[in-house]
Structure 1
């Protein structure tokens, strides 16, 4: 038997609220399949299954608050037979458990009205996405659908009436808590380097000119790939400070800071960045931004990144000095691309440039190593065809 436990959906997550199940007992599930939706302080996350098997029992009712690491379901491994067991044992017919935090209500008997928490948790996927866009907490909206389900119309009505989002407040509180912890615990040091992008943008323009719009690349993917490749030679910036020491990340997975339209910030993860082609990264980055902004992130999207990159884009300022997201030990920032005078071969020219910054943890590295890391990013961007 496999115990499926609530995973950590962010370094600052201690608990979540189960919103809905996407599976039922007796159903076969595959690795990577979305099995549940869990509400965190920042977003509703689609939780993926990490093992294939057959659902034996669902242990937690929708609406229950659950601590990270709590078993929420049991699965039978391929070929394993269900144990009819004593009443109340996981898998006994008609006896799912309601676990999680004390006070979680059991499943209602046939004909009984569902408890208020379960009613509030019934939110259609379209309504949940629209609520995230409008900054409305769907769990606080009165549902007019079947069995009290919150519909798209309910969310629109709540927004029109000026509903205040508890999630938006919780997100700001979560960001504040993480950043306060960062500044309290991590001895930051900061470095910055102006990087010329004339060659990179010329190569990018030629690449895009030969392709249809949906196949074109943005400068962001060049920056992300350069950071990932530089981490191969500077692994002390890719990992976490845990249990009083540095633990290197197993792969090069980058957190990408994404500003939400309704306010707030998420930093979901791009997986295995150094190993992927630029077109693959462009596609995955676009999909990641879409999922973040439509409240449809998956649990694999919020797995632990080894380093976070923040990019302010065309509407940002020239330089950003970020705060490290614990337990990571570094953050790379890029400001907007601007034209600046640049001396090359004794001549002054106007060249597009980007200011790259590094915030790093002095417990793991020092300024000399940080300078070499930024210089490697700059060097890689002078040969964009090698990315």
Structure 2
């Protein structure tokens, strides 16, 4: 059997609350399918499955708080392998939500019936005055789930018992609800990040390096490339910096690893990119296989992921498996950024603001755009010599941006 466990969505996550199952026993699951919604300090996250099979059993009740690594569901492989362990028990919340609700009696002649509805679906229905007693559920055992309520509100199922004008109905529709559900408090985000960084600071012996890089070639290349493009297709320096980090990790792979009692070098280069949230706090989505992406593909990823990160609309796969992290404050930010390593990673790279400075070059003094790059490394895994090799490789790649742009 295939065991599906609560994934870790970063070092700052210890548990999450199972809000709603998206699948039910007997459903076929393909790689990348969404199996559940989980509420975390990063907001409501869609949890994906990366195995193929048929759901044999869901082991948790909706509403229960689930520690990272807890077995949540069991899948039967498509080859028909039989179950070899007892997974019959179902974990319920400490204070279980009512799963069956008394239906509203449409007339005194009709008998009262019980309606199965998930806690989240019930909450949305009550907030928007939707009569869920007349809705046909599509969830496990015929339970009414969130999408059933949303479908009703969109007007494609049985209408609510109150007459709602189309303009009012549109305002009450799911996007607004999702936004409210997906927005965690700033305090919760800061608390989670602070806990993870405090632990990192206590347990990881950090070393810090910095290098000043002349960005004249890189900025000139970007200006030339962008001069031939429409505004929506133009490249930002961040895309080039991510590509240069990926290329440098190819040359110095010791920094592309995790610490698991010893250094484990990862084959994939998955770069976590720190995104600041407008209300405060950060979230770190991961760009998978960054070394295989072109600069244009990286720019497309940034344009897509940053707005979704700030609206708390990321999937579980986008918040896991980073092998190294980049922190870039961008234009107008601080000149230098010294990051704290995001465990179990062993390095974080910080990019400050690009500033104009007088620089001596070929016996002449000129004004050049300069960038301070910092590296925070885990001394258990690497040392200053390895870190210096990485920064040297990074400088080399940024002096020949046209080569990065061809990949």
Which range, TM-score by smaller chain? 0.7 to 0.9
Partner residue, 1:65: 65
Structure 1 or 2, whichever has the larger Rg, is 2
CA contact (8 A) 2:59 2:87 kept: no
Partner residue, 1:173: 191
TM-score (norm 1): 0.81
Question: How many pairs does the alignment contain?
Answer: 354
Once the two structures are overlaid, the 10-residue window that deviates more, 225-234 or 9-18, is 9-18
- Following superposition of structure 1 onto structure 2, how do residues 264-303 of structure 1 map, counting pairs within 5 Å? 264-303=281-320
CA–CA distance in structure 2, aligned partners of residues 375 and 122 of structure 1:
57
Match of 1:347 among 339, 345, 364: 364
Partner residue, 1:239: 257
CA contact (8 A) 2:244 2:398 kept: yes
Distance 1:385 1:166, change over 3 A: closer
CA–CA distance in structure 2, aligned partners of residues 296 and 50 of structure 1:
19
Partner residue, 1:190: 208
1:226 aligns with 2:244: yes
Distance apart, 1:386 and its partner CA: 1.0
Partner residue, 1:32: 32
Distance apart, 1:2 and its partner CA: 2.8
Distance 1:123 1:356, change over 3 A: farther
Gaps of 5+ in 2: 103-112, 133-145, 154-170
3-state secondary structure, aligned to 1:45: strand
CA contact (8 A) 2:253 2:265 kept: yes
Distance 1:69 1:145, change over 3 A: farther
Match of 1:330 among 325, 339, 347: 347
Partner residue, 2:234: 216
CA contact (8 A) 1:98 1:105 kept: no
RMSD across aligned positions (CA): 3.2
CA–CA distance in structure 1, aligned partners of residues 291 and 316 of structure 2:
21
1:99 aligns with 2:99: no
Once the two structures are overlaid, the 10-residue window that deviates more, 55-64 or 249-258, is 55-64
3-state secondary structure, aligned to 2:127: coil
Distance 1:212 1:359, change over 3 A: same
CA contact (8 A) 1:316 1:335 kept: yes
TM-score (norm 2): 0.78
1:51 aligns with 2:51: yes
3-state secondary structure, aligned to 2:100: coil
Which digits, 9 at most, give the CA deviation of each residue in 1:172-214, with x for residues without a partner?
1111111111111111121111111111111111112222222
Distance 1:145 1:384, change over 3 A: farther
Distance apart, 1:316 and its partner CA: 0.7
- Following superposition of structure 1 onto structure 2, how do residues 142-161 of structure 1 map, counting pairs within 5 Å? 143-146=127-130
